[in-house]
């Protein structure tokens, strides 16, 4: 998954993220603005997980999104 493309299509992509991680608010997603590192930080904060776990979850999400 190319994060440059995600940034360009952020409005469409936000819905998929909210389905996967329901604790992310609209304000969170607006602040993230398609930046992968900000998303990982927000996942850590909202779900109380380590950076490695956030990376793992995001990687799995990216692979699922590619396959769809």
d(CA 66, CA 49): 24
- Which pTM was predicted? 0.86
The helix (run of H) or strand (run of E) holding residue 62 is helix 51-67
Dihedral angle sign, alpha carbons of residues 47, 53, 54, 59? negative
- Residues 7-28: pLDDT tens digits? 778 888 898 999 999 999 999 9
Q: Which CATH superfamily is domain 3-67 in?
A: YjbJ (1.10.1470.10)
Lookup: tokens for 8: 């360009």
% of residues, the chain, pLDDT over 70: 97
Is residue 55 helix, strand or coil?
Answer: helix
Q: How confident is the model at residue 48 (pLDDT cuts 50, 70, 90)?
A: very high
Instruction: Please give the average per-residue pLDDT across 34-58, as a whole number.
Output: 96
d(CA 68, CA 49): 26
């Amino acid at each position: 998954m190319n994060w440059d493309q995600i940034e360009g299509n952020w409005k469409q992509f936000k819905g998929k993220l909210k389905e996967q991680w329901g604790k992310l608010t609209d304000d969170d997603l607006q602040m993230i603005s398609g930046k992968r590192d900000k998303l990982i930080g927000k996942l850590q904060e909202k779900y109380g997980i380590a950076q490695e776990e956030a990376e793992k979850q995001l990687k799995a999400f990216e692979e699922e999104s590619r396959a769809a």
